[in-house]
Amino acid sequence: METLAALGDGFWIALTIQNLGLALTGCFLGTIIGALPGLGPSNGVAILIPLAFSLGLPATPALILLTSVYYGAMYGGRISSILLNIPGDEPALMTTLDGYPMARRGQAGEALAISGLASFVGAFFATWGLVFLAPQLVKLALLFGPAEYFALFTLAFATLGGLTSRNQAKSAFAAALGLGIAMIGVDGQTGVPRFTFGEVHFYDGIDFLVAIVGLFAISEVFLFLEHRGEGDKGGDGSKVKLGRIVPPLAMIRQTTGSMTRGTLIGFVAGVLPGAGASLGSFVAYSMEKRIADRKGTFGTGDPRGVAAPEAGNNAAAGGALVPMLALGVPGSGTTAVLLAMLLALNITPGPLLFQQNPDVVWGLIAALFIGNLMLLAMNLPLVGLFVRVLQIPPRFLMPAVAMISFVGIYGISGSTFDLKVMIAFGVMGWVLRKLDVPLVPVILGVLLGDQMEKNLRRAMTISDGDIWALFASPLSITLWSLAIIGFVLPPLVGRYFRPKIADTAKAEGADPD
């Protein structure tokens, strides 16, 4: 009841003209960002953060804008999956399997409608899950001391690759690289400069927004330059006939079970550290195929094969917000980017956020409910509008994305040095992507490095240098064990879970969620 009262207050905050306007803008931009191949939730949110920041939006409105973009992108990803057989972002990969065959049979409109509905169901119930689960997790988090937090951060890194990880050594490499970057600058506790190489600009450390925009957005521009002329990505959305955009009742009834199962699986996958929306949709699809595919129609345009992964990825998007808000440990690329937003606004997520800034948390959650309704309204009748957006060719889109990235970073600091650092991160991101090194652990390392070290040193100060203090409480031992299992298990069992499609070239360079 307490929770519902808090949620009610949240609606008062979210229902101002400004916040409603921001939610609407966010949902609209998000759907476009998700739909455009080459722009996914994480780099879409990444280029918008510096803008929201330099526009001087306060915390709650800024967060409402960006999470609306996040939810919107999850809705939008399916549009190009269904119409063009190109996933707009990684979580939408599974939707191509049955969505595109449906479109080729002239059922594009129905596929879009049923997937839009599935997205709504997934996101709506996951937001309820967030309402009830996050406060419980906060109660648990209040028991955490520095040693437990250190173990929790390790757990987040260890499981970040998740079941879809192909090479754990590369995930570990990426995490260490990110943490190393976070060490640059003056040490907060003793005031000595570290790894600055005498460069004054490095004394404040590297701004994580610069790193994120460089790694995600600028490297994407390089990928497009590399692949220029190899098949026209996008731009032929007009050729597909939409057909009817209202799904027949029978189809809704047929897919109800798929949506329910997809939602449940997706939410759980989202809450677990290091899984994110891609895993949510992968597992939802494979499970659904195992449960419901008796006639072998999956892969040939079965509406249930569209409904399950869409419900799954949207539910996972909501689920991934649980650990991010309650513990301050994001489970996926986009929630890592949202964490960057909070840190940039001087708000530290975690249990204290719920106590000190309940208006931020509950205003945000209420905005998610409102945003969901807006997205449903936008995505059913207005889907034709978004289809038209797909006709913007990347050769105009990518330069615009690059320039907006520059504007955002320049707007924060007005420093050309930061712009150059961003370009350097862009090159690094391109090389790492080519070598199949995941970028999300790098981002997480840059974001969490400081806090991770602070907690470690605080724990050591409390125990007066006794290293065993890290493993002293049952809670920390549990977290350490989970970390070890989470790191060792994927290579052993991953091959049974990992969908084949994730290993193909289509997944290469896809934007992480």
Partner 1 sequence: MRNISDRTFGIAGLLLAALIFWRASIIEESFIQDPLGPKAFPYVIATVLALASAFIVARPDPEPDWPRLGRVIEILFAVAVMVAYAQLLPVAGFVAATSVAAAYLCWRLSTPPVWALVAGITIAVGIYVVFHLILGLSLARGPWGF
| Burial category of 103 from C-beta neighbours within 10 Å (exposed 0-12, middle 13-18, buried 19 and up) | buried
- For partner 1, give the closer residue by CB, 191 or 474: 191
Find the shortest distance in angstroms from Cβ 175 to partner 1: 7
Q: Give the HSE-up count for residue 44: Cα atoms under 13 Å, Cβ half-sphere.
A: 34
Measured in whole angstroms, the distance separating CA 203 from the mean position of its chain's CA atoms is 30
Find the shortest distance in angstroms from Cβ 86 to partner 1: 17
Binding residues for partner 1 (CB under 8 A): 51, 54-55, 166-167, 169-170, 172-173, 175-177, 179-180, 183, 187, 189-192, 194-195, 197, 218, 221-222, 224-226, 228-229, 394-396, 398-400, 402-404, 406-407, 410-411, 414, 416, 419-420, 423, 426-427, 430, 434-436, 452-453, 456-457, 460-461, 464-465, 505, 508
Find the shortest distance in angstroms from Cβ 362 to partner 1: 27
- For partner 1, give the closer residue by CB, 54 or 85: 54
How many angstroms separate the CA atoms of 185 and 220, rounded? Answer: 28
Find the shortest distance in angstroms from Cβ 99 to partner 1: 27
- For partner 1, give the closer residue by CB, 236 or 436: 436
Q: Give the HSE-up count for residue 494: Cα atoms under 13 Å, Cβ half-sphere.
A: 21
Task: Give CB contacts under 8 A, 24+ apart, made by 472-475.
Answer: 472/147, 473/145, 473/147, 473/148, 475/143, 475/144, 475/148
- For partner 1, give the closer residue by CB, 145 or 180: 180
Q: Give the HSE-up count for residue 358: Cα atoms under 13 Å, Cβ half-sphere.
A: 15
| All residues at 6 or more sequence positions from 224 whose CB lies less than 8 Å from its CB, including other chains | 38, 394, 398
| All residues at 6 or more sequence positions from 170 whose CB lies less than 8 Å from its CB, including other chains | 435, 436, 437, 438
Find the shortest distance in angstroms from Cβ 402 to partner 1: 6
Find the shortest distance in angstroms from Cβ 419 to partner 1: 4
Residue 449: both structure tokens together: 């490095």
Q: Give the HSE-up count for residue 496: Cα atoms under 13 Å, Cβ half-sphere.
A: 6
- For partner 1, give the closer residue by CB, 244 or 466: 466
How many angstroms separate the CA atoms of 183 and 166, rounded? Answer: 27
- For partner 1, give the closer residue by CB, 352 or 404: 404
CB of 499 closer than 8 Å to CB of 94: yes
- For partner 1, give the closer residue by CB, 227 or 244: 227
- For partner 1, give the closer residue by CB, 7 or 421: 421
Find the shortest distance in angstroms from Cβ 233 to partner 1: 11
Find the shortest distance in angstroms from Cβ 306 to partner 1: 30
Identify the residue whose tokens are 């490499």. Answer: 173
Residues present in the chain in total: 513
Q: For helices 276-292 and 333-344, give the axis angle rounded to 10 degrees.
A: 150
Report the run of H or E that residue 355 belongs to, with start and end.
helix 351-356
